[in-house]
A = this chain, B = another copy of it.
Amino acid sequence: MVEQGGGASGAGCMGCPLRQRGEWCVLNEEETRFLSRHLKKRRYRAGETIFSAGEPSHGVYCVASGTAAIRKGDAEGNTVLLRLAYPGDTLGYRGLLLGENRRYGAEALGPSKICFVDRAVVKLLLERNPTLGQQFLRRIASDMDEAHDHLVRNATLSNRDKFVHLLQSLMNRHGRTATDGSRFMELPLSRRDLASMIGARHETLSRIIGRLEEDGIARFSGRTVYVARSHSLFNAIRPPTLLD
């Protein structure tokens, strides 16, 4: 199951999306080869756990293909889906930096390939190439921004508007354009998970979806979502008390 470096493409990290998008893009050819030799690439099936909250952090994970979900729970056993990770994203750097156990879990949402980089390898590369550290800094800083935006949205928007916003960002990632110019996508998440992302119960989300269909904002069929025009999702954020 575990491949050493090579990967299915046969070119190791050289052909990996991480090479372009992730923080590793600052590595030179030699360093990339080193990374290539020492990472462990592994296939995950849908729903498979990548790592779990509470366990020690031995390294970081990089999404090569597929989608991963970051889950975090509180003391009462409630669980929340914090965010999704896509190819090029690096997971689990926090535990590594702080030397703490993982505070959240990650799982593959669909068939995915994910690389594991041992902390020793990260450390070596960080020493050889200080730019890598800067990349990580930038990455975390940008994650912070995202988290803060998330906090503000959660504090100010209604569940409906939060869901519309979630649909927008999912559409950006997963959306395709049909021949008639309308947009559609295959949702990577169950309703329960969608609900947990906006901090609502799944029953509430069902009703929100119903209302969106009534209002002609979007059409839902299983995990497929259709939107008339991508704009209509934007407009949907302020639909009430506009026409009276």
Closest to A155 in B: B199
Most buried by B among A103, A148, A154: A148
Point out the residues of chain B lying under 8 angstroms from A152, CB to CB.
72-74, 78, 80, 82
User: Interface size on A (CB < 8 Å)?
Assistant: 37
Tell me whether A141 and B93 are in contact (CB under 8 A): yes
Tell me whether A150 and B153 are in contact (CB under 8 A): no
Tell me whether A82 and B151 are in contact (CB under 8 A): yes
Contact with A138, one of B97, B103, B147, B150 (Cβ below 8 angstroms): B97
* Residue A142 CB within 8 A of the other chain: yes
* Residue A203 CB within 8 A of the other chain: no
**A contact residues vs B (CB 8 Å cutoff):** 72-74, 76, 78, 80, 82, 93-94, 97-98, 103-104, 130, 133, 136-138, 140-145, 147-156, 196, 198-199
A-B contact list, 10 entries, CB within 8 Å: A72-B152, A74-B156, A82-B148, A94-B145, A98-B145, A137-B137, A137-B140, A151-B154, A154-B155, A155-B199
